[in-house]
Amino acid sequence: MSERANALRGEAELTVAGEQLVLRPSFAALVAAEEELGSLFDLVERAANGQLTLAEVAGLLWHVIRDRPDGLTREDFGEAMLALGLASVTPVLKIVLRQILAGR
């Protein structure tokens, strides 16, 4: 098990499929997310307007997983995230989006 999330670094925690994942929106992770999802500013704007798709949420969070467990596939992550429900995922998403906007 990896160490806990450090809020001072803008990290958040999400437990999916029995694994506690630390989400860290590092520069490299956000660049990878942006390459897939397009402009992060546009992503944040869509989030503010309630227009993020499930694929965008899963994609962003997938990219910011700090230490991805061996064997966890993106499809498994998406299914586990869906099983949690958006109400459980939204607070973590808000932390990540806030970090994108505010930085450290």
Q: Domain segments of the chain: what residues?
A: 7-102
The pLDDT of residue 24 is above 80: yes
Q: Span 21-30, mean pLDDT?
A: 93
Query: Residue 55 has what pLDDT?
Result: 93
Side-chain half-sphere exposure of 54, counting CA atoms within 13 A: 12
The pLDDT of residue 1 is above 60: no
Which H or E run contains 15?
Answer: strand 12-16
pLDDT per residue as tens digits for the range 52-85: 999 999 999 999 999 999 889 999 999 999 999 9
Residues 6 or more apart whose CB falls under 8 angstroms from that of 15 comprise 21
